[in-house]
């Protein structure tokens, strides 16, 4: 049977394969609009009868149109939903809860990258979720009734739903791994240092963490810019009077203006307006700076790709930097130490300026931040595993790089989904399928046992000819860099 009983009522899913049921669009909280807008998530209302959960729920307000995924339309409000992939209601299998990325501004659990079928066949129950994005989820709203980091609070509400309901889907609520990539990975890192999330998960997987998180001042400055673009005062009343669509459009205008303004500092290069805010309440500190005693006692698996920012260059979201003068200005705008650019020139002596810029930008934003988070977790006495994704492929169009997001379809086992062709450079090869099977197995084993298949004293390099400890030279270049001095 494809019928399951939750605390709010019965749900019916659909088969994605003969041995896998997907239960889609299950509300885990009430629609966060009307009187509940800009507030902490409220419980979802119960329903009578059987709720047909055979299609993804509406996604959070955004302007993005992603391949193979639904778009948001003004009026879509029941956006706090999740999806469960399971092999059946019997047993108590390890659970993997996935938090999608998208610069805290776009994306959803409905993206074809995140189909849980392969991971279910590897022995897991898989949950994916939507959460508030953009201003709705991370914009600063004055007043004590409007907490910061509402998107993170949504994620906690989803984890509470898992605790209370996943047994009905054959999952073990005492064996939950929370996982994410990019903004989703930093969300995972934030959850590990948030008291509200304590006890809701037991392991964590974080691919391509992005940091640092935002200060209260930066969040306030962003709110002011967006309110001005929307033509409203920076007050709870003014922001509430603006519709979600108004604030999406205003945010897009602000990002476009920053992208065209060399005086915008760090936000000139690839403006990301929103992110978790170290407000001292919901999120006590940047995950790198949290007190060791405040770190959740959970096993951790961290991974990043070796050429992250080449994707952002390929899709046109980041500024093209091609001269030495522009590279020097970039380093100044981000507050990078004086010895960092020369260190990268030594690492890549024949690289053009654009490649140096992309390497520094990618390592600053993702690789070094990810690696430091792993260091901090290990220093606090927690079991920590590190991997890097280095798979390259030569095609007629050139080299397909191990760029941002390329690792995700391998870990989910969805290489044959047509929308993955751009990320992985065309149809998958037999070698690709072999790599994917090993990455799926590593996730499943880690979720089940806390061990992904290698030791805490080595680094797995996925897709390299030698998958042993390698590709660590970039870290020496960052030895004098302090994220407290780096401007997001």
Catalytic residue among 100, 202, 377, 404: 404
Query: Treating both helix axes as pointing N-terminal to C-terminal, what angle do 183-191 and 150-165 enclose, rounded to 10 degrees?
Result: 70
Note if 404 is an active site residue: yes
Helix (H, G, I), strand (E, B) or coil at 29: coil
Rounded to an integer, what distance in angstroms lies between the CA atom of residue 381 and that of residue 214? 27
**Overall size of the chain counted in residues:** 488
Contact 208, 366 (CB under 8 A): yes
Note if 160 is an active site residue: no
C-alpha pair distances (Å), 360 with each of 268, 292, 363, 389, 486: 16, 28, 5, 17, 13
Helix (H, G, I), strand (E, B) or coil at 392: coil
Rounded to an integer, what distance in angstroms lies between the CA atom of residue 21 and that of residue 277? 37
Catalytic residue among 308, 370, 371, 377: 308
Contact 195, 282 (CB under 8 A): no
Note if 308 is an active site residue: yes
Catalytic residue among 182, 251, 365, 370: 182
For residue 122, the number of C-alpha atoms closer than 13 Å in the C-beta half-sphere is 23
C-alpha angle 97/100/102, rounded to 5°? 165
Long-range contacts, 478-485 (Cβ 8 Å, 24+): 478/340, 478/363, 478/364, 478/368, 480/337, 480/339, 480/340, 481/336, 481/337, 481/340, 481/364, 481/368, 483/211, 483/212, 483/286, 483/288, 483/369, 483/372, 484/212, 484/289, 485/335, 485/337
Contact 148, 114 (CB under 8 A): no
Q: Is 22 left (phi over 0), alpha (psi -120 to 50) or beta?
A: beta
Rounded to an integer, what distance in angstroms lies between the CA atom of residue 178 and that of residue 99? 8
Kindly state the tokens that stand for 22.
Answer: 């997907």
Q: Say how far residue 80 (Cα) sits from the centre of its chain.
A: 16
**DSSP symbol at 275:** -
Residue 396 CB burial class (10 angstroms; 0-12, 13-18, ≥19): exposed
Strand order, beta sheet including 459-462: 14-17, 20-27, 81-86, 125-129, 93-99, 171-181, 203-207, 299-305, 384-389, 459-462
Q: Which of the residues are catalytic?
A: 182, 308, 404
């Amino acid at each position: 049977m494809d019928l399951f009983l939750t605390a709010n009522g019965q749900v019916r899913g659909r088969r994605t394969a003969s041995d896998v049921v997907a239960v889609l669009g299950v509300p885990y909280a009430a629609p966060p609009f009307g009187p509940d807008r800009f507030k902490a998530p409220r419980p979802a209302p119960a329903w009578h009868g059987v709720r047909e959960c055979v299609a993804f729920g509406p996604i959070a307000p955004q302007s993005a149109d992603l391949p193979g995924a639904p778009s948001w339309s003004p009026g879509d409000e029941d956006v706090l939903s999740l999806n469960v992939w399971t092999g059946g209601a019997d047993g108590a299998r390890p659970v993997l809860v996935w938090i999608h990325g998208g610069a805290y501004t776009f994306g959803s659990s409905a993206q074809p990258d995140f189909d849980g079928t392969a991971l279910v066949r590897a022995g897991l129950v898989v949950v994916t979720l939507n959460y508030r994005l953009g201003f709705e989820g991370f914009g600063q709203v004055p007043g004590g009734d409007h907490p910061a980091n509402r998107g993170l609070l949504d994620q906690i509400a989803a984890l509470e739903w898992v605790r209370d309901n996943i047994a009905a889907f054959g999952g073990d609520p005492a064996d939950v791994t929370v996982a994410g990539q990019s903004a989703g990975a930093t969300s995972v890192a934030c959850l590990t240092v948030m008291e509200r999330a304590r006890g809701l998960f037991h392991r964590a997987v974080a691919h391509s963490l992005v940091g640092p998180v935002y200060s209260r001042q930066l969040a306030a400055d962003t709110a002011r810019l967006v309110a001005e673009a929307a033509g409203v005062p920076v007050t709870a009343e003014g922001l509430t009077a603006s519709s979600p669509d108004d604030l999406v459009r205003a945010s897009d205008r602000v990002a476009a203006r920053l992208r065209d303004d060399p005086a915008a500092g760090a936000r000139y290069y690839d403006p990301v307006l929103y992110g978790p805010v170290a407000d001292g309440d919901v999120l006590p500190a940047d995950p790198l700076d949290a007190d060791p005693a405040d770190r959740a006692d959970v096993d951790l698996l961290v991974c990043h790709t070796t050429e992250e920012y080449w994707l952002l260059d390929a899709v046109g979201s980041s500024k093209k930097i091609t001269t030495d003068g522009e590279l020097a200005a970039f380093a100044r705008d981000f507050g990078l130490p004086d010895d960092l650019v020369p260190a990268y020139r030594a690492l890549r002596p024949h690289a053009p300026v654009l490649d140096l810029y992309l390497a520094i930008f990618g390592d600053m934003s993702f690789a070094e931040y990810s690696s430091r988070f792993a260091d901090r977790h290990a220093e606090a006495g927690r079991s920590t595993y590190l991997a890097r994704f280095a798979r390259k492929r030569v095609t007629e169009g050139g080299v397909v790089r191990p760029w941002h997001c390329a690792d995700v379809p391998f870990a989910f086992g969805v290489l044959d989904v047509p929308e993955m062709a751009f990320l992985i450079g065309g149809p998958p090869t037999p070698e690709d399928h072999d790599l994917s099977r090993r990455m799926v197995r590593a996730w499943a084993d880690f979720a089940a046992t806390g061990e992904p298949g290698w030791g805490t004293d080595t680094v797995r390099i996925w897709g390299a000819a030698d998958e042993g400890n390698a590709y660590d030279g970039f870290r020496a270049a960052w030895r004098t860099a302090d994220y407290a001095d780096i401007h997001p």
